[in-house]
Amino acid sequence: MKHKLLSVLLIISAVAAAYSCKKDVKANTSLIGKWETVSEKQKQWENDKLINETVYPYEKGELIAEFRADNTITITKNGVLSSEIIPYSIMGKIIIIDGEESEFNLTDSNNTLTIMNEQVEVSNGVTYRYEFATTLKRL
């Protein structure tokens, strides 16, 4: 359940930082449309050694994000459309996520979208790195 919340937050926060962005950036037209979340992949590293890699599949229709030309996203979760309309902004291959940058990549003739985020922290001399990749398919 925690991993699915992370995916929702990744998609939602991908646009939340746009509130603080003063420069109006046009929507990336290749993202416009409905995208169904297929999976989330998480990797955990300790001092550059991979210690865990997990892929969490999503059920069909579980989480759908619609990127609109007006730089907003709507989220449909298990068939229920959220009333929240989320602004987004893209600069090149970067989506701003709650003040953090995430990369996105379009493959398979622009029909597969991957949103990637990485977090690094150091504790007691150990460097922990977490990689998150959410994969969506165009509907």
pLDDT at 79: 95
Q: In this model, does residue 5 exceed pLDDT 50?
A: no
Q: Name the pTM for this structure.
A: 0.76
Give the DSSP H or E segment for 49: strand 49-57
Residues 98-136: pLDDT tens digits?
A: 455 788 888 888 899 999 999 999 999 999 999 999 999
The range of the structural domain enclosing residue 85 comes to 2-138
Structural contact between residues 128 and 121, judged by C-beta atoms closer than 8 angstroms: yes
CATH of the domain at 38: 2.40.128
pLDDT at 99: 54
Q: Is 129 helix (H, G, I), strand (E, B) or coil?
A: strand
Q: How many domains does the chain have?
A: 1
Residues 17-71: pLDDT tens digits?
A: 333 343 444 556 788 999 999 999 999 999 999 999 999 999 999 999 998 888 8
Q: Which residue has the higher pLDDT, 128 or 94?
A: 128
Structural contact between residues 59 and 7, judged by C-beta atoms closer than 8 angstroms: no
Q: How far apart are CA 16 and CA 120, in angstroms?
A: 21
Q: In this model, does residue 15 exceed pLDDT 50?
A: no
